[in-house]
Structure 1
């Protein structure tokens, strides 16, 4: 059974590193996050990672051929970089001779947040999410951040002063909403709760004889959903809702252009490996401009 939000308080932020610039940028971001939360940072390298993602090493490791770069070198380079960025953060490291997906999913059981970078297989451009990050995002037991944006190989600092959270069909008691509220409190920025809405395909609204009430009904329902989600906002957090007509994936990706962080929930399915990513989460992970956090939503149990 996964821990509750409260049960993860004080647990470390865990970041997976593999020697790539993308993973070091993720380590930068994770260090900032650990400092905000006042928790330790744990750097983990699963030594079989390169089997999946190639060996595109960071500049600070490029002095030697890939086969001469040891796992310890990769972790040490990441640790030095983190210490330069956030000297006050308690830091631990580990090198594990395991499959990266297995390692990171296991680490997520005892983490407040799991962080990875984005990198396509063998260094493909970052419009594609690396296979490891995508697989782990579908199974992590804690919230998972995929650090996107900022192609200068440095973590993207908060420049927009906004956390955006996607509002789903059932926002009440949403773990994603709670995470967004807490993140905004740490960062001292407001939350924007975004709800996308569309009329069903069979209800055409662009014809003058058919437009009107059907569209207004769906829009009204969309407006009411964020209002419900914002009914229990913690003190000190500034939140407002916004509804946008359009496909959820496109609406959230557009919102990411003006956000420091995009938070979305993912409902656990009944399959053996837990959290299953839907089309919205999958699309946002591939195309968001800012870092994305996928928050597992607890499975509802049927009434007896």
Structure 2
């Protein structure tokens, strides 16, 4: 089964920019593109609105949203195989379910709620926290530039257990596919009983472990930063086309839970953020 790149659409401008980004991502990976519109009220609102407007059902609501998105995707990447579907359920649940059979899931940073641009939509946050595949949330102003990024660099936040990290693999794949350097970032803080030199050296060791299997043809830079990881990654996002962070899966009914670092960059990063589930 050829896994698709899935993008959630809702008719908003951020979701249409997500279509652009997802189309580029699918083209990079040679994958099909799947456009989905999820709404619990679609089954009721669609027929009612069609009656009020005296139009066929397919001209309103989800089909109209999906039709616009499909036209945009085909215009951007005519070579792609594109499919569409309506999910008559809450977006949080429908998109998480879609993630179980997706290569990646792409979302705009906000929907129809009219939230300030600095805030993240509740749907994006919920899906990023529970999805089974990498979720790319489009932050920043250049979020429709998946293939021809403006900064020419992928950034990777390196956590405590980098060995075998899915986030590292995803970041390496993205950098190789785009032909750009990878910058791995590890933040450190100095406790009272330690020295800055020892803490920085330890951070460098973690970076070396994370990048030990990087292909020789990929330029991979190491950056250690003293301070909070969230602040360090937000800063590096201003110089990057994509920021990749891992999220550990915890056993239990709530599935994947986001750390404060992942939560913080999803709210404040200046570029798209990929949250990659780590299956411990």
Same-fold call, TM > 0.5?
yes
- Partner residue in 1 for 2:188: 197
Secondary structure in 1 matching 2:212? helix
Q: 1:16-165 residue pairs with structure 2 within 5 A?
A: 16-48=8-40, 69-119=60-110, 122-150=113-141, 155-156=144-145, 157-165=148-156
- Partner residue in 1 for 2:50: none
> Over residues 220-266 of structure 1, what are the superposed CA-to-partner deviations in whole Å (9 max), with x where a residue is unaligned?
11111101111111242221211011110000000000101000000
Shift of 1:48: 3.2
- Partner residue in 1 for 2:196: 215
Q: Does 1:241 find its partner at 2:233?
A: no
> Over residues 149-187 of structure 1, what are the superposed CA-to-partner deviations in whole Å (9 max), with x where a residue is unaligned?
117xx7134011100000111111111001011111110
Contact kept, 8 Å, 1:269 with 1:275, in 2: the verdict is: yes
Q: Please, what TM-score do these two structures have when normalized by structure 2?
A: 0.89
Q: 1:175-186 residue pairs with structure 2 within 5 A?
A: 175-186=166-177
> Over residues 197-240 of structure 1, what are the superposed CA-to-partner deviations in whole Å (9 max), with x where a residue is unaligned?
1113xx18xxxxxxxx6222211111111011111112422212
Task: Give distance in 1, aligned partners of 2:217 and 2:98.
Answer: 32
Task: Give distance in 1, aligned partners of 2:68 and 2:34.
Answer: 14
**Consecutive unaligned residues in structure 1, runs of 5 or more:** 1-8, 51-67, 205-212, 300-304
Which is further off, 156-165 or 112-121?
Answer: 112-121
Contact kept, 8 Å, 1:121 with 1:130, in 2: the verdict is: no
Contact kept, 8 Å, 1:185 with 1:237, in 2: the verdict is: yes
- Partner residue in 1 for 2:233: 252
Secondary structure in 2 matching 1:79? helix
Task: Give distance in 1, aligned partners of 2:272 and 2:8.
Answer: 15
- Partner residue in 2 for 1:268: 249
Contact kept, 8 Å, 1:46 with 1:103, in 2: the verdict is: yes
Question: What is the number of equivalent residue pairs in this alignment?
Answer: 262
Shift of 1:69: 4.1
Say what the alpha-carbon RMSD is for the aligned residues.
1.8
Task: Give distance in 1, aligned partners of 2:60 and 2:271.
Answer: 31
**Consecutive unaligned residues in structure 2, runs of 5 or more:** 43-58
Task: Give distance in 2, aligned partners of 1:49 and 1:278.
Answer: 32
> Over residues 107-165 of structure 1, what are the superposed CA-to-partner deviations in whole Å (9 max), with x where a residue is unaligned?
001000011111167211221100011001110000110011117xx713401110000
Secondary structure in 2 matching 1:123? coil
List structure 1 segments (4+ residues) > 3 angstroms apart after TM superposition.
none
Contact kept, 8 Å, 1:47 with 1:96, in 2: the verdict is: yes
Task: Give distance in 2, aligned partners of 1:180 and 1:275.
Answer: 19
Name the CA shift for 1:276/1:235 in 2 (closer, same or farther; >3 Å).
Answer: same
Contact kept, 8 Å, 1:265 with 1:295, in 2: the verdict is: yes
Shift of 1:290: 0.5
Q: Please, what TM-score do these two structures have when normalized by structure 1?
A: 0.82
Task: Give distance in 1, aligned partners of 2:190 and 2:250.
Answer: 26
